[in-house]
Amino acid sequence: MGTMLVVLILVSMMIMMDNVYAGDTNSVFDPCSDTRVQRWDGFTFGLVFSSKESFFFNESQLSPCDRRLSLTGNSAELAVFRPKVDEISLLTINNSNFNPSKSGGYMVAFAGRKYAARSLPAFVADSTHTVTSFTLVLEFQKGTLQNLFWKKFGCDSCKGDSFVCLNKTDCAVPNNKCNGNGGSIDCNVSIQLAFSGTDKNENVLNSWYEVKNLRQYSLYGLFQGVSDSLTSPFKNLF
């Protein structure tokens, strides 16, 4: 827990945690501690938003749990999530005060101490564009997290005048079209989360396979559609 306290001091913290699931055998809630999990356990990991260079020390990328990283002076932000292992999840950050470009524009997903698993820094936003949709895969071996991967599906979904393709890999929204800047587009960051590998009982984790087969669909888009269909009939009642 000591390392996590350092992280909490270094960054401004935004915590978003799912409910603790019935049957959850994982009692570790600190993303900087090690654990072994089985399917349907809760698993805690973190996202740090900061500048790309702030995740490196002597040209080597370190885990945000590592005290050698000087995140304190970089306006870094931390979000902590606890999804259910091998369940496809949609994670969102919809805090109106959160601006990823002001935090440095990049994010790293991380968890664990011994393996210090961390993703590569992923571009989120700068002064002109914001990438709103990401896919993250957590890879386990016998229940221990080994890697976190950002998956790219290209720009096939960049349709209409409201989106632009960056580096032939990411759909981004011009910041002047985001609803926080007077535009009409929801530019909150959303992450489709899936799992691969095996749990501590050597059961295969299949959710990444399912996401890969459904990659032409956006969980965020589906969620928005369901949300709109539920709320629209009641908008005129208030």
pLDDT > 70 fraction of the chain, expressed in percent and rounded: 79
Cβ(193)–Cβ(44) below 8 Å = no
**How much is the pLDDT for 119?**
98
Whether the CB-CB separation of 194 and 90 falls below 8 Å is answered with no
E strands of the chain, at which residues?
A: 12-15, 45-50, 56-57, 60-61, 77-81, 89-93, 106-111, 117-118, 122-123, 129-131, 133-141, 144-151, 164-166, 170-174, 189-197
Tell me if 237 is assigned to some domain.
no
Residue 236 lies in a domain: no
Structure tokens at 10: 């270094």
Is 10 a member of any domain? yes
> For the segment 162-219, what is each residue's pLDDT rounded down to a tens digit?
899 998 899 999 999 998 888 999 999 999 999 999 999 999 999 998 887 766 455 5
> The pTM is what?
0.81
Which structural domain, as residue segments, surrounds residue 144? 2-216
Number of folded domains that form the chain: 1
pLDDT band for position 22 (cuts 50, 70, 90): low
Q: In what order do the strands lie in the sheet with 129-131?
A: 129-131, 170-174, 164-166
* Residue 145 exposure: Cα atoms within 13 Å on the Cβ side: 30
Asked if the structure places residue 222 within a domain, the reply is: no
55-84 residue pLDDT tens: 999 999 999 999 999 887 668 999 999 999
pLDDT at 217: 54
- What is the dihedral sign for C-alpha 170, 83, 108, 99? positive
Whether residue 224 is contained in a domain is answered as no
Residue 202 domain-assigned?
Answer: yes
Confidence of residue 93 (pLDDT cuts 50, 70, 90): confident
pLDDT tens digit string along 109-134?
999 999 999 999 999 999 999 999 99
